[in-house]
A and B are shown apart, each in its own frame.
Chain A
């Protein structure tokens, strides 16, 4: 085993873990901001309760996203020094901008929001959570622009003298079609995740309320308005999910077309397509032989892949064997085919889990149509609670597809992953850091989920008691450490 292999594992483990929290931060900051806006506009007590309840859950998640994010920025230099040396000129710029434009915004205003409940005028306090929401979204854009550049490098040239990539057009990097398309896809997926988080929590509370008539605390009668509150937040979550679901499908389709154009090998691997075809079929289930490079079994839907990749039913889609041949001719001998099994299945699992979540949202919206209808079937509640892990899984497989599909490159066509790793960092060192990261992350996951469950069970009326009058500032609970 080489340090390269473990460095890749470490990047995978820490990035996937980080991305369990990030989508919730991106989406929940918006949802909490919307709930607080509703409270600000209407003054209705349920909205205050909902804001503080989901705000609390948001903060428990937010902390994890922040601290695991620091690792990401350091890791490029620590494990991937040759990558950093080659790309820093181009790739470093969006990272620095992310810190300066987005992280400062997020971190300053989250502090103001947490501690400002009694110190800031209501309108200013509301503006703070909106600044956090804007900050998280800006941050997503910059980091995704950096990531998109690795898959579709633009706006630079390689300096013959020092062998480094040098930026010559920052706008090309920031307006890269891969960047905004990936942004739309990732952020709408984040909104689905956050929407389904709200759905999952609300469904759980409604279900408990219906079945057991309790608040989660032994011997405490359920407040009447808890029911109305969670019916309301359930609908908010469902609407968010469904709107985001429409965008995720549209942007996902665009992603496939961009992959066909810029990363044909990834698309071919995602479809287990070995030979170039016109009118290529969409693979429903393939069993491939990666040694002999063909599929003994392939159940397909004719012409659909061509349509997804090119927009016409008889468009040409490149196959892996033809691409491998062409790449060897162009880049020299080597294996330019990614891990087909991983890429093929992560593509399907991403779509499957993602569509399941969106389908639950559509069903839920139908079941809660009108002013009063509330789902009664336990199956619906079970599905609604499973939709959150499904969304998280869809996100993970989406990134596995993106990153594993780009292999063997870090910068497509310019730098191989094998040439990106830090030559001075030993296998033992990476093994040590990977082990400790995994252990610490595992422990923190247990702690985080435990806290979320605790606060969900306790419920909003526990957090924000029924108040005589919201207008009386002093009655509103404040957050502190």
Chain B
């Protein structure tokens, strides 16, 4: 196989990793307002379930972006400048969300936490929606001239297919997050998350199925059909498993849904990387957008050596935090039993137990 094709696959793997992992923490953030009353320990349980891992999940995005820059500079250049406004909105959302996680518990004030909760909600829901819009547009193609400069306006990006894509990622990530919460928490949050999963499924299943079928019909290849079928089946399987309380299975199924759905999108895109709707001849392809073989060879070696290492220690961090998060575990009660003790009144242990 040729190096540019290998790197096209590698980049799709990085995006898959990003969406499978950050997908659930976007979902948890989107569901935060529904997981407990304001300032309740329940909300803290939800946040702490992703606390140790969200940052490393986000690095998949940075790696995917860096890999696109290195392996397909023309793709990176046209895409990022052409999708300026949605990417800018995603950046602002990720900034506010990241700071919110870290700062939310650092002042004992209702107003303070309320504002950071809003930042977590919008900072999670907006990218979950916008990534779907962006990827649908990538698959569908945008107006682009012979110099590979995108001429489509921001409003052009908000077409029906892209909006359905956005709805799909938003609902799918929310479902994925809800199921993650059922798997990783205990107590009231777990109960609410299960209900949220079933409600979200009512949006995720139809929009996901519709979007995948549309993708397959309009842009697919014969060999992307199995991916679409598996994605749809896994989505239904995930919902059924959630309904029956099989939390581990349902999480595995929604992860598989995201994996195969993103793979199907990249499959549908191939061999283009950014099709031009102005003239197919202006499209960026795996061939004309890629770096020279030397760079790709170097990058291949780096990836072969270090990606398994990353998977190993990132997997280990998930193993360390495998236990369910509960009200007692976030307030530290079971550990220090100092309700009202000297450690209270400041810092992140101080949220009053509702």
Count class of interface residues, chain A = 35 or more
Decide yes or no whether A425 CB sits under 8 A from chain B: yes
Of chain A, the residue at the smallest CB distance from B315 is: A108
Asked whether, in the complex, the Cβ of B103 is within 8 Å of the Cβ of A60, the reply is yes
Decide yes or no whether B85 CB sits under 8 A from chain A: yes
Decide yes or no whether B199 CB sits under 8 A from chain A: no
Asked whether, in the complex, the Cβ of B77 is within 8 Å of the Cβ of A465, the reply is no
Asked whether, in the complex, the Cβ of A88 is within 8 Å of the Cβ of B62, the reply is no
CA distance A73 to B56 in the complex (A): 16
Residues of A within 8 Å of B209, CB to CB, are none
Residues of A within 8 Å of B101, CB to CB, are 63, 481
Asked whether, in the complex, the Cβ of A85 is within 8 Å of the Cβ of B51, the reply is no
A53 CB to closest chain B CB (Å) equals 11
Asked whether, in the complex, the Cβ of B85 is within 8 Å of the Cβ of A429, the reply is yes
Given A101-B306, A481-B44: A111 in contact with B298 (beta carbons within 8 A): no
Q: How many residues of B contact A (CB 8 A)?
A: 82
Asked whether, in the complex, the Cβ of B87 is within 8 Å of the Cβ of A166, the reply is no
B86 CB to closest chain A CB (Å) equals 11
Decide yes or no whether A115 CB sits under 8 A from chain B: yes
Residues of A within 8 Å of B149, CB to CB, are 81, 423-424
Contact of B47 (CB < 8 Å), options: A96, A465, A481: A481
CA distance A109 to B316 in the complex (A): 10
Asked whether, in the complex, the Cβ of B291 is within 8 Å of the Cβ of A78, the reply is no
Decide yes or no whether A42 CB sits under 8 A from chain B: no
A21 CB to closest chain B CB (Å) equals 11
CA distance A70 to B298 in the complex (A): 24
Secondary structure type dominating chain B contacts: helix
Asked whether, in the complex, the Cβ of A77 is within 8 Å of the Cβ of B76, the reply is yes
Most buried by A among B295, B317, B348: B295
Residues of A within 8 Å of B282, CB to CB, are none
Given A77-B69, A89-B291, A422-B81: A108 in contact with B317 (beta carbons within 8 A): yes
Decide yes or no whether B243 CB sits under 8 A from chain A: no
CA distance A480 to B147 in the complex (A): 50
Asked whether, in the complex, the Cβ of A63 is within 8 Å of the Cβ of B99, the reply is yes
Asked whether, in the complex, the Cβ of A77 is within 8 Å of the Cβ of B77, the reply is yes
Given A96-B63, A111-B55: A67 in contact with B73 (beta carbons within 8 A): no
Asked whether, in the complex, the Cβ of B298 is within 8 Å of the Cβ of A74, the reply is no
Chain B window 62-95, contacts with chain A (Cβ cutoff 8 Å), 1 for yes, 0 for no: 1101111111111011111110110110011011
Of chain A, the residue at the smallest CB distance from B76 is: A77
Asked whether, in the complex, the Cβ of B48 is within 8 Å of the Cβ of A73, the reply is no
Chain B window 321-354, contacts with chain A (Cβ cutoff 8 Å), 1 for yes, 0 for no: 1000000001010011000011101111100000
Decide yes or no whether A1 CB sits under 8 A from chain B: no
Contact of B81 (CB < 8 Å), options: A77, A98, A166: A77
Of chain B, the residue at the smallest CB distance from A102 is: B59
Of chain A, the residue at the smallest CB distance from B104 is: A481
Residues of A within 8 Å of B320, CB to CB, are 112, 116, 119-120
A74 CB to closest chain B CB (Å) equals 6
Residues of A within 8 Å of B71, CB to CB, are 92, 96
Contact of B299 (CB < 8 Å), options: A64, A96, A458: A96
Residues of A within 8 Å of B58, CB to CB, are 70, 107
Residues of B within 8 Å of A464, CB to CB, are 343
Decide yes or no whether A311 CB sits under 8 A from chain B: no
Of chain B, the residue at the smallest CB distance from A461 is: B342
Decide yes or no whether B52 CB sits under 8 A from chain A: yes
Decide yes or no whether B158 CB sits under 8 A from chain A: no
**8 A Cβ contacts from B191-227 to A:** none
Contact of B76 (CB < 8 Å), options: A60, A68, A92: A92
Residues of A within 8 Å of B72, CB to CB, are 88
B301 CB to closest chain A CB (Å) equals 10
| Interface locus among A260-268, A380-388, A470-478 | A470-478
CA distance A109 to B66 in the complex (A): 21
Decide yes or no whether A82 CB sits under 8 A from chain B: yes
Asked whether, in the complex, the Cβ of B76 is within 8 Å of the Cβ of A480, the reply is no
Asked whether, in the complex, the Cβ of A82 is within 8 Å of the Cβ of B77, the reply is yes
Decide yes or no whether B106 CB sits under 8 A from chain A: yes
Residues of B within 8 Å of A422, CB to CB, are 77, 81, 84
**8 A Cβ contacts from A51-91 to B:** 56, 59-60, 62-64, 66-68, 70-71, 73-74, 76-79, 81-82, 84-91
CA distance A87 to B70 in the complex (A): 9
30 inter-chain pairs at a CB distance below 8 angstroms, sorted by A residue, are A66-B98, A77-B81, A81-B149, A85-B73, A88-B70, A88-B77, A88-B291, A89-B73, A89-B291, A93-B298, A96-B302, A98-B66, A103-B63, A104-B314, A108-B56, A108-B317, A115-B321, A118-B335, A170-B298, A425-B84, A444-B95, A455-B347, A465-B343, A474-B335, A478-B349, A480-B105, A480-B330, A480-B332, A481-B51, A481-B105
A-B CB proximity, top 5 nearest? A88-B73, A77-B80, A92-B70, A92-B69, A96-B66
